[in-house]
Amino acid sequence: MKVPVSKPLFSELAKENILDALNDKAISGLFGKYIPEFEESFAEFCGSKYAISCSSGTAAIHLPLAAYGLKKGDEVLVSSLTNMATFFAVMYTGATPIPVDIDLDTLNMNIDDLNKKINDKTKAILVVHLFGHPVDMNLIMKVAEDRNIPIFEDCAESHGAEYLGQKVGSFGTAGSFSFFANKILTSGEGGIVTTNDSQLNDKIRNIKSLAFGDEDKFQHKDIGFNYRFTNLQAALACEQVKNADFLVNKRIEIANFYNEEFKNYSDVINLPQQKNYAKNVYWMYHMVLNPNEKLFNSRQEICDRLGEKGIETRSGFVPFNLQQIFIKKGMTRPEDCPNASLTAKASFYIPTGPDISSEELDYVSTNFKMILDSLL
């Protein structure tokens, strides 16, 4: 049996929508009914006033930072353990990202390290709701309010996640979601920005599409980007948003199944958490081998042996403070974020995509437990 980490799941409506977009000849990012439909339905899903589609999750992080006006000399505090796209997006603006350490349980931004690293050059905080678990936003919002600086949310992995009953992406100045093929909702590639700020909405809409002029289209208002999402992608994305509750619940069901199956191993493996303030949507079933226990150095062996059984795994992210290119440039040091470094040595995830069958889930679980038993 071969079980990939993620297979997307579509209903018939996805095919109908795509065919419809093709028949309409509306394939670009400038025309077609599916783009506004996607944006309106996603804004509603997220509980935000505006949603602006774009070409990727990375673009969705870059656009609001650029529209807000971040520039060289500004510092942005960013959760160190993330997909490096979060950091790259800050660098595109010329600003300097400063890595902030994480909590070992949720893997999200640590409030003490945030307070330690904040200073007069800090112009924004960029949190990441990692692996579907929301950040403890009240703590971060208090710091941001005291300093009068904005918060941006990287929600690439957390469609539908909630903090105290409110959807992520609706707290900060802007939220950024990815629609890459392995994400909770997908259109293959793509992204969307959420915001409640009408001026930011206007500016993002303009700069994402080459900053065309209002009266004279080719008298551009700014240096723009082509970060447009296409109507073809939107045709697919509309179907995903319609089925969002189902797709989010599917991830939760998969995580609940694994949690039950692996509960006897929770002393040697830190299983995904759900804090009492959180609705975790478990983008991927991500585990960390307990640093104080026997299996801490066994990630490679566990993943290799799962691979021999046809079960795909991925190692967890390498945080900013362990990225060789940035260490060499003197932008960070491994010791800047000890919790992120510790987590990176022993984290990995197993198949979690929405199209996984119950036979496949049983197969993954049985083999995983067998491998653990042989190592303990």
Q: Which residues bind ligand PLP (CB under 6 A)?
A: 56-58, 82-83, 85-86, 128, 154, 156-157, 178, 180, 191
Nearer to ligand PLP, 45 or 227 (CB): 227
Q: How many helices (H) and strands (E) does the chain have?
A: 13, 14
Distance CA 139, CA 135 (A): 9
Q: Identity (one letter) of the amino acid at 286?
A: H
107 or 295: CB nearest ligand PLP: 107
Shortest CB 142 distance to ligand PLP, Å: 24
Residue nearest to ligand PLP (CB): 57
Hey, what are 332's tokens? 């960070």
Q: What minimum distance in Å lies between the beta carbon of 132 and ligand PLP? A: 10
CB of 305 to ligand PLP, least distance (A): 26
CA distance 87 to 214: 33
The least CB distance from residue 154 to ligand PLP, in Å, is 5
Nearer to ligand PLP (CB atom), residue 160 or residue 265: 160
SS3 102: strand
| Euclidean distance between CA atoms 170 and 129, whole angstroms | 12
Residue 99 Cβ, how far from ligand PLP at the closest point, in Å?
Answer: 14
Least distance (Å) between residue 280 CB and ligand PLP:
15
316 or 360, CB closer to ligand PLP? 316
Strands (E), 18-165: 50-54, 75-79, 96-100, 122-128, 151-154, 162-163
Of residues 226 and 366, the one with the C-beta less far from ligand PLP: 226
In angstroms, the CA 90 to CA 73 distance is 12
The backbone region for 214, taken as left when phi is positive above 0, alpha when psi lies in -120 to 50, beta otherwise, is alpha
When the beta carbons of 98 and 168 are compared against ligand PLP, the nearer one is 168
Type of residue at 365: S
φ, ψ for residue 352, nearest 5 deg: -140, 0
